[in-house]
Structure 1
Amino acid sequence: MKNFKLHFLVIILVVISELIGTISIPLGAGSIVLLPMLYAMIFGILITPKFLKIANEKDMDDAGSLIGLTLMLLMAKYGTNIGPTLPLILKSSPALILQEFGNVGTVLLGVPIGVMLGLKREVIGGAHSIAREPNVALIGERYGLDSPEGQGVLGVYIVGTVFGTPFIGMLASFLAAYTSLHPYALAMASGVGSASMMTAGVGTLSAAYPQMEEMITAFGASSNMLSGLDGIYMSIWVALPLAKWLYRKSYRLKYGVLPDLTEDEKGDE
């Protein structure tokens, strides 16, 4: 907390990123949307000791220690947004409320492939969800962010920030242009629990269907809000236990033995 150099660097990166603003790059029938969060991530990588050496190893360690604190503040902010929108949640259709069951597909696909590629316990943190802020906080509380599970969820979080936002924008453009899916359905699908990804998807759809912009934004925001609200419970009760179970099965299939169990997993047996 007393590393003033670190705080100064963060402020500078945030100001520069916000000054650049959102950039939309036309691509075929749609566009790629670049948001300030992406610039901040790239600038943060460039100032590390491996590149410009503006930040040193101590700065990086201090920044890592503040992740939990900043996530707590973000979760508190989410909490203040949920209360006033409860009437909207109650009026939402079953499709919005039950959409988090789609997260199970991430586990079923990601865990076996990750194990086959040689990943170990990192795959539990990385593949139990799309690894956004609430999921990072969950893994940090359960295992610690210095654990293999923590490294997995942080790795996917960074990849999602760098590649997920433009990917969602391009995917929304492609589906809107070349499929018969309704724009409202695509807006709901954009609300995966990431504000940056939702903004990219909704922005692309709004540009394609300007006459529906208000409803597209409403569906996207509602979907994203519900993903943040019920997504964490889906991770706790369904996705994370399923990821751990599937990891054991996949590990045994590849190596012929069960993986070593941590104290947390022994308690699950």
Structure 2
Amino acid sequence: MDSLRTLAQDWRLHLTVLVVAAVSQLIGVQQIPIGIGAILLLPLLYAFILAALTNPNVVGRLAFFIRERDVQKASPVIVIAIMPFIAKFETTIGPSMQDIIEAGPALLLQEIGNLGTIAIAFPLGLYLLRMRREIIGASFSIAREPNIAIIADRYGLKSPEGAGVMGVYVVGTLFGTFIFAIMASLIASLDILDIRALAMACGVGSGSMMAACSGALVNIDPAMEETILALAGASNLLTYATGMYVSLFVALPLVEWMYRKSQRDRLDSEGATA
């Protein structure tokens, strides 16, 4: 009874989600040829843009329909919404389990490579963009749903760290598919890495980025489609499984330590100058 009452109270939110999802699916996947491959525009991108336009904090005139309390209720659902997404990957992985087993430890160890985001993003954000504590949330991962959950639990999404992780999440949603499609096409065209290795690299923990990356690889080598999709899906699933622990116990403490050290060095430098 309480569930029905809550559903009735939040009818505006549910109706908006249904309309946004329906419109996004009707638009479908669009491809923009770029010579060496194609940029994929996925329904997730349209849904994000349309949903943002219904946010009263973005378009104030819509506040009469979607209220601030509706926005607050929608926030925790992000983590729940990715569960069907993960289940879908398993249907691709099962039939190609032999290819996955043959990939060996590479799939399990590939998560360590995601720590490279810290080496690049942290100094750029701290010294070039002059970010403060936002850099902790922005640089410890590629900021997908599990990473948002970690920051939300430790700091809260209204904290500077929360602003950092959500900022990267938004940018990744808008531009991540473009970058991954281009990178996959460029690197595959150089013919210096096995396409199966590139397929594993597609699984960074983002469904849209994985789809764009694996789609670009399939366009280059259609005969390997099943293997590419299976390895990319398995890699992505393992990143969800292992990435949570790597982010929580390795990446986030490392970034926190680096931030504290940078602040001590800055204070020492200012003290010496004074």
Normalised to the residue count of structure 2, the TM-score between the two structures is 0.84
Residue number in structure 2 paired with 1:132: 144
- Structure 1: distance between partners of 2:14 and 2:185: 37
Whether the aligned pair in 1 keeps the contact of 2:93 and 2:231 (CA below 8 Å) is no
Q: Partner amino acid for 1:164?
A: G
Distance 1:93 1:33, change over 3 A: same
1:246 and 2:258 matched: yes
Largest Rg, 1 or 2: 2
Matched residue of 1:32: which SS?
A: strand
Structure 2 letter corresponding to 1:214: E
Say whether the 8 Å CA contact 2:89–2:234 is kept in structure 1: no
1:188 and 1:253 mapped to 2: Cα distance? Answer: 39
Mark the CA change 1:30 to 1:63 in structure 2 (over 3 Å): closer, same or farther.
same
Secondary structure, in 3 states, of the residue corresponding to 1:54?
Answer: helix
Q: How does 1:177-192 map to 2 (within 5 A)?
A: 177-192=189-204
Residue 20 (structure 2) pairs with residue 34 (structure 1) = no
CA contact (8 A) 1:82 1:229 kept: no
Distance (whole Å) between structure 1 residues aligned to residue 77 and residue 50 of structure 2: 22
Give the number of aligned pairs.
258
Write out aligned runs for 1:229-268 (5 A).
229-256=241-268
Q: Which runs of 5+ in 2 are unaligned?
A: 1-5
Quick one: structure 1 residues 200 and 74, their matched pair in 2 at CA, closer, same or farther if it must change by over 3 Å?
A: same
SS in 2 for 1:24: strand
Unmatched tracts of structure 1, length 5 or more: 259-269
**3-state SS in 1 of match to 2:143:** coil
Residue matched to 2:160: 148
Specify the SS of the correspondent of 1:167. helix
Structure 1 length as normaliser, TM-score? Answer: 0.86
- Percent of aligned pairs with the same amino acid: 43
RMSD of aligned alpha carbons = 2.8
Does the alignment pair 1:62 with 2:73? Answer: no
* Aligned partner of residue 61 in structure 2, secondary structure: coil
Cα gap change, 1:21/1:84 in structure 2, threshold over 3 Å: closer, same or farther? closer
Mapped to 2, the partners of 1:4 and 1:191 lie a distance apart of 36
When residues 125 and 185 of structure 1 are mapped into structure 2, their CA distance, relative to the original with a 3 A threshold, is: same
Cα displacement string for residues 17-70 of structure 1 (whole angstroms, at most 9, x for unaligned residues): 011111111111111011000011112233344448334696355324432234
Cα deviation, residue 176, structure 1? 1.3
Does the alignment pair 1:175 with 2:175? no
User: What do the CA deviations read for 1:157-198 (whole angstroms, capped 9, x no partner)?
Assistant: 111000001210111111111342211111111110111110
Per the alignment, residue 18 of structure 2 pairs with 11
SS in 1 for 2:23: helix
Quick check: 1:112–1:247 contact (8 Å CA) kept in 2?
Answer: no
| Alignment of 1:223 onto 2:235 | yes
The structure 1 residue matched to 2:114, chosen from 97, 103, 113, is 103
- 1:203 matched to 2:231: no
Counterpart of 2:242, as a letter, is D
Q: Is the 8 A contact 2:114 2:204 kept in 1?
A: no
> Any conservation in 2 of the 1:112–1:250 contact (CA below 8 Å)?
no
**Residues 131-161 of structure 1: CA deviation (Å, up to 9, x unaligned):** 1011111111111111111111111111100
Paired position in structure 1 for 2:3: none
Distance 1:80 1:198, change over 3 A: closer
Contact 2:217–2:228 at 8 Å: present in 1 too?
yes
Q: What is the rounded CA distance, in whole Å, between the counterparts of 1:255 and 1:115 in structure 2?
A: 15
Q: 2:93, 2:230 within 8 Å by CA — same for their partners in 1?
A: no
Distance verdict in 2 for CA 1:154–1:143, change over 3 Å: same
Instruction: Tell me the SS of whatever aligns to 2:62.
Output: coil
